[in-house]
Structures are given as C-alpha cells and as structure tokens.
Amino acid sequence: MASLGQLSLALLLFTPTAFAAVAKPPTPAGQDYAPRFVYKSKRQATADLTRPPQSPPVFNDTVDSLKMDAPGLCNQTKAVLDKLAASVSPLNATFANTYGPILEDEHDVLTKMYIQQFYASVSADSALRDASSEAASIQSNCALESGTRDDIFKLVESVYNSLNTTQGINGTIDAQDRYLVDKDYKGYLRNGLALEGSQREQFKAARSRITTLQLQFDQNYSGDTSVIWLSPAELEGLPEDHINSLAKGTGENEGKVALTFKAPDVTPALALVKNPDVRRRIYIARDTRVLQNVPLMKEAIVKRDEAARMLGYEHHAALNLENKMAHDVATVQPFLEGLRDRLYDRGQEEIAGMNELKKKDHEARNLTYDGNFYYWDRDYYNNIIVETEYAVDQVKVSEYFPLDRTITAMLQIFESLFSMHFVQLSTADLAALSPSGNAEEMTWHEDVIAFAVWEGDNSGFVGYLYMDLYPRDGKYSHFAEFTLQPGFQKSDGKSRHYPVAALVCNFPKPQGSNPALMTHDDVVTFFHELGHGIHELSGRTKWARLSGTSTARDFVEAPSQMLENWMWTNLTLSQLSSHYKTNESMPTELMDALISTKHVMEGLLTLRQIAFGLFDMKIHTPASHEEAEALDMSLEYSRSMRNTTGLKGPEDQGEPENWSSGEATFGHLMGGYDAGYYGYLWSQVYSTDMFYTAFKTDPMNPATGNKYRHMVLEKGGSQDEFQTLEEFLGRPPNSEAFYKELGLE
C-alpha cells in the first residue's frame, strides 16, 4: 500500500501469494532475544552518520496545537494565493511569478501537513487521533477552496496556454515544469473551474461532502474493535499459544476468548480452525461489521456520480480514469473481464480439487457435506493442500524468519541492490537531534525505530525511514507506507529537502525473551512495503507533488510488486532465512517446496482481485444518476464476489443475496482507489515485465539495481509512466511476461 500520506494507498488487505491464510507462528521460548529491534549494517558506520544535514521531524503535536496549526496552514496558503492574485495578471503570468509562490508555499505546508494527519493512524491517544482526523478534514476543505479559485485558475490557464503556443515565453523551464503545469491545469478543470455560478457551488458542496464521508468512514473503520467470542474448543486447530494470547471473557462470555478481526487473528483462524460452522461464523461476522459505514459508502458513490456529471463526464469512473495510465473504462473493463474469462475455468478446477478434499475430510470426521464449497472453506483447504501436497509446514517455515534477523537481512539486501546505507538512530542519537534534547518527541511511539538513510558510499544523505512494527489499540490495522515529508528541490535551486517515510505494520510483538516469527506471507508483505519506502526515499524530483510515490495510481504498486519476486528465489530466501535457534538458513528442500507453492490456487486468488475490481467499476459506472441512487451496494458486492470467483456463500444457504456488508470495510474505495482498484492487477503487468526483462536472471545485480533506482524510482511522477517504463526497458512495455507468469501464454 503505497504512501498513505499522499493518498497513494497500498492497504494490502489481500496479498496475492499462495499463502492467503496461514497460522500465526508460535512464540518459542528459551531464546535470548532483545525485545527491541537493533539493526547492524554490513557497511562501515561513522559517528557523523547519526547527525544528518537535515534534522528529522519532531512529533510533539497536541490536540490544542493541531486545532491551531491545521487552520493556520490553510490561512498561510490563502494569504499566498491572495497576494499572487493581486500582483500577477493573466497578461503577465509566467511559470516563475505564478508557480514560484505556489510551489514554495506547498513545500512548506506539506512538510507539516502530512504529519498532522498521520497521528490519526498511529497515535495511542484517541483524542489526538480525533484531532488529527479533524485537521485532515479542515485541510481537505482548504485544498478544495484553493483548487477552485477562479483568479488563480486564470493565471494557471495563461501559463498553460503560453507553454502550448510558444517557446521560451516563460523563461527557462524544463520538461518537468511543463509536465507539472499540464497536470495542474487539467486538475483545475476536474475541480469544476469550467463551471459557473451556482453550479460551481453545488460541485464544491458535493466534493466537500465526499471528503467528510471519507473521513467518517476511516474513523469508523480504524476505531472498530469488533470481536467474536468463542470457546477454546471452538477454536480447535489454532496453536494453543495463539488461543492463550486472546483476551479472556467475563460475565456472559466467561470461558470464552475474543477473536479480533485484525489480520494476525482472523487470517490464521480461517485457515486453521477445524470446525466449518465456526469458520462460517467468523467469516460472516468479519464481513458484516462496521455497519455504520454502509450508508457512508453509498452516499459517497452518489455524490461522486453527481460531481462527475456536473463536469460533463458520463460517470465517476470516466472522470477518475482520465489521468491514469489506463485512461478510460473502455480499456479497464475489457482488461478485467478478459482476465476473468481466461482464469475462470482454472479457478473452478482449483475449487473442485479443494471440494474433493473437503468431501473426504467431512466423511472422515463424520461431518455433514452438502456438496458446496464456501468462502470460509478456501483458506482452510488451501492450507491443507500446501502442507500435504507440497510438504510445506508453515509453522516450520516461520521458524526461519525471526522478525529481527529477517528485517536486518532485508535492509542489507536493499543496501546492496540499491546502494544505500541504513543507520539506526539510538535513543541517545534521537535526543541529540531533538531541539529540546528529548528523544521521546522524535518518534510517535516508544516502539518506533528510526533510520538515517545514506548513499551506499556515505557520500550523501538520502532521507529518514521509520518502522512502526507492532499492533496496538487505535493504530492502523494493516500494512502501509506513509509519506511524512516529501522530497523536493529548495528555492535556492541547489540544495534539497530530503524525504521522510514511515512503514506502519502489525507483526506480533516479541514477548520478553521470546522472538516474533514471521510467516512467509509476512515476509512478502514487508518487502513490498519496504519497497514503497525506498521508492519514496529515492525520489529526486524538483517539486514535492511529483516526488517518490506520487505517480499515476495504476502504476504506484508496480515497483513494490516487482520486488515481491525476490521473495520467491533461492538466492534471496537463503539470505533472508535464519532459524531462530540455530541461525541456519532454510534447507534447500524446504526452500524449493516453498517456491513451488508460488502459484498454488493463483487462479482463484486472482479472480478474487478481479472481483474487487469489477465491483469497483460497477458502482462507479452507472448508466444514469438515478441508477447510482438505486444501487444496492451490499447486493452488488456479494454478486461480484460470487459470480467472479464461483465460491458459494450464505446466500446459498438461505440468507438474503445482499447478506454481506463487505463494502463497509473496503477502505480502498474511500481512500483513493475509487474506480482504481483494477490498478493492483494493471500494475502487475508492468512489474512483471520489469522483473523478467531486467532482474530474473540475476536478481541481486547491483548495477541493474542502481539503473532501476535512478531510471524508475528517482523519477517519481515527474514524467509519463509509459516514458519511464520505455526508458528503463529499452522498448515499450508489454503484457507477455504477466500472462506467462500466470500460466496464460
């Protein structure tokens, strides 16, 4: 999930690997592990590397300071724009006198605003989380006001027209400046600047309401504490230490434990709990929670449709796809439907194979078998197939991935491949960097780990990277990379402001001397998110709005998706694995068996992703506004999942067809992936093409890694993504490798 700070989500509610659901590894005892991660780089460290040329951000905001500072940033921007409108006219507007003030203010604002909004996802203080959400609401409305000012639009339009009709009239500007102006001008048009009078005000009101709905949705979702109370006997199949780690019930729940719907709990439960009725109850409870979000999602869909039609678009998808690589519905819909049609039979064969296993299992355990294969059966029987047919014991695999050693090995791989040097900042270092000498204000929680990142030869500073590895109440419950400060060229034209990125994760926390163990799926996910962090840190654009992960939404996942391939090679797995007792690498036989599972059930898993994409397109392409208003979101969600995957659900057992409220927790569609979820599969076309072309034969070649860093990651969103791909590949990108990887040559 890419940079959430820049609304480039990479929520990874679903990671398309063979291990869609595996056990939370047991926590072994008797080993001497420090509870806090300590990184030791293989590169030579010196004391001065802990004192970078740019101070790290300070995380000392309070409820009161956010209430004052959030509107303060809005007032600052308004003053800049007011002065610009008063001093420059469309007749003498140039890139320098128009965009100079705008971008200088933007750079100052973004270094503060992203952090102000970040607390909503990570703070342990609920009051600060609420204040952060309110700050985001204020700033979103402020951005809407700034982006719909007619006086500023006329200046932008003048610069845009001059750049497209003459050469050199605006002084010395480069291709990146032109690209920025082109995107900015079209963005103003999408903000309704072509509308007049009351229609423009109606458009602004609709956009403002959408922002409010998004924030309410996110607050409800992140604040959800739903659990399902079950007895230990009902959870048979989960490791005993996992059951013992769950909260104990009192009163009417005496003798029961609370299974949460956070990934570390619900994922292994659906994979390992033996009782099919209990798995059914867990699955239904997970997909029918946060019900207050159902009407919020529906209203957002209606308001998006309303706003798009005001601008003259056929529907919201037509508007939202205009600035993506795919460009239009006529490209996206055939892509999703064509992939579905090519994979559907394969998915049904996979279901049939698991259903045969289910039949034998039910007969052996004297359980009723009705011939159907349900949603809540998939992970359970997939896990059995991986263990029995591929001889991969996930618990044994996890023993080779203790959290601290695995992350250390990952950082060392990135150091070697992309010529970087990660220097962990100690408590003493953070205190020395703090303006007040207080190390606590240099992170947002005591568990957070901070790194100063340098060039591999220590010749230059790159930026800061933070890791927030463990779950806690109120924290964002999945895995994502957040941009805290973007990188950009300072106004002197020479020096840079260096980027700051944070990885927010939810791994089990080490307990005393007991290490946390990662599943292979955890390893893939973290490598993916670390890839987003490296993308952000590698950005070397002039302007913040084009930096790092600020690419087209249907490309932003490609760099990290490409890196997932490293987690399926013998070379990388041998470097990453280190048994928590013996320090030995994973045996070749187990490694080979693990790699052989990469495409197990891939047809069905990809169909699930396609189902999400088709649901997204369905609700954002109504034939009329009346059709948008009449949408039954829950019905469309259930139909999309059932018809695309072929899996059965509660509707096949007598429940209403719209039984699910899965859309209530589908954060992507309220957080920036609206009419864009197809991008996860779309970007895989390019990620696979890059891997096969440049890295497949030699994935750890530092020369290729350096070329990739500078030709792809460094460019950010400063040029058309097709241009970036063609320059790196040496030819136009194509889908051959993507279909080959899926076995669809």
d(CA 371, CA 359): 8
Tell me whether residue 637 is in a domain: yes
Separation of alpha carbons 485 and 536, rounded Å: 10
pLDDT for 1: 47
Q: Which two tokens stand for residue 512?
A: 């005393």
pLDDT at 19 (0 to 100): 28
pLDDT range class, residue 510, cuts 50, 70, 90 = confident
Is it the case that residue 7 has pLDDT exceeding 90? no
Pair (519, 386) in one structural domain: no
Distance CA 555, CA 685 (A): 10
Burial string for 417-428 (b: 16+ CB within 10 Å, else e) reads bbbbbbbbbeee
- Say if CB 542 and CB 712 are below 8 A apart: no
pLDDT surpasses 70 at 304: yes
**pLDDT of amino acid 509:** 82
User: Above 50 in pLDDT, residue 603?
Assistant: yes
Please list the alpha-helical segments (H only) found in 223-262. 240-245
Mean pLDDT of the chain: 92
Determine the straight-line distance between the first and last CA of the chain, rounded to whole angstroms.
29
Average pLDDT of the segment spanning 239-252: 93
Residue numbers of the domain that contains 31: 4-55+399-596
- Asked if residue 502 lies in contact with residue 466, where contact means CB atoms within 8 angstroms, the answer is yes
**Are residues 617 and 645 both part of a single domain?**
yes
Average pLDDT over residues 358-373: 97
Q: How many domains does the chain have?
A: 2
Is residue 640 domain-resident? yes
Tell me: the pLDDT tens digits for 627-647? 999 999 999 999 999 999 999
The pLDDT of 580-591, averaged and rounded, is 96
Check residue 708 and give its pLDDT: 97
Tokens of 373: 């294969």
Task: Verify that 505 and 439 share a domain, yes or no.
Answer: yes
Together in a domain, 501 and 581: yes
Residue for token digits 């606590």?
A: 440
In the 8-state DSSP scheme, what is residue 600? T
In a domain, 75, yes or no: no
Q: Kindly state the average pLDDT of the residues 278-286.
A: 98
Q: What is the pLDDT of residue 461?
A: 97
CB 542 within 8 A of CB 672: no
Point out the domain boundary residue: 542, 567, 596: 596
What average pLDDT does the segment 285-294 reach? Answer: 96
Question: Environment class of residue 390 by beta-carbon count within 10 Å: exposed (0-12), middle (13-18) or buried (19+)?
Answer: middle
Residue 663: inside a domain: yes
Band (pLDDT 50/70/90 cuts) for residue 171 is: low
Q: pLDDT tens digit string along 199-226?
A: 999 999 999 999 999 989 988 988 888 9
Is it the case that residue 408 has pLDDT exceeding 90?
Answer: yes
Establish if 373 belongs to a structural domain: yes
d(CA 712, CA 542): 15
pLDDT of residue 467: 97
The confidence score (pLDDT) of residue 26 equals: 43
Pair (531, 433) in one structural domain: yes
Binned at pLDDT 50, 70 and 90, residue 55 comes out as very high
Among 636, 670, 704, give the residue marking a domain's end.
670
pLDDT value, residue 473: 85
Same domain (yes/no): 420, 350: no
What local confidence, expressed as pLDDT, does residue 45 receive? 77
Task: Decide if pLDDT at 62 tops 70.
Answer: yes
Q: Is residue 161 part of a domain?
A: no
Residue-wise pLDDT for 693-723, tens only, equals: 999 999 999 999 999 999 999 999 999 999 9
Would you give the DSSP letter of residue 487?
Answer: -
Whether 383 is covered by a domain: the verdict is yes
Q: Where is the domain boundary, 555, 573, 596? A: 596
- Which pLDDT does position 13 carry in this prediction? 27
Say yes or no: 548 and 411 in one domain.
Answer: yes
Q: Are residues 540 and 472 in the same domain?
A: yes
d(CA 546, CA 542): 8
Give the pLDDT mean for 645-662.
96
List the CATH number of the domain containing 565. 3.40.390.10
Q: For residue range 490-501, what is the model confidence (pLDDT) as tens digits? A: 999 889 999 999
Say how many C-beta atoms besides its own lie within 10 A of residue 215's C-beta: 19
Q: How confident is the model at residue 651 (pLDDT cuts 50, 70, 90)?
A: very high
Q: Does the pLDDT of residue 233 top 50, yes or no?
A: yes
> For position 264, what pLDDT does the model report?
81
Domain assignment of residue 205, yes or no: no
Among 282, 284, 290, 276, CA closest to 228: 282
pLDDT given at position 6: 44
Both 512 and 620 in a single domain?
no
From 399, 481, 529, 557, the catalytic residue:
529
Do both 518 and 646 map to the same domain?
no
Q: State the average pLDDT over residues 108-120.
A: 97
Q: Does the annotation mark 481 as catalytic? A: no
pLDDT recorded at residue 172: 73
pTM metric for this prediction: 0.90
**pLDDT, tens digit (0-9, with 9 covering 90-100), for 15-26:** 222 322 333 444
- Specify the higher pLDDT residue, 83 or 38: 83
Contact 270, 382 (CB under 8 A): no
**Residues 432 and 356 reside in one and the same domain:** no
416 shares its domain with 494? yes
String of DSSP letters for 264-320:
HHHHHHHHH---HHHHHHHHHHHTT--TTHHHHHHHHHHHHHHHHHHTT-SSHHHHH
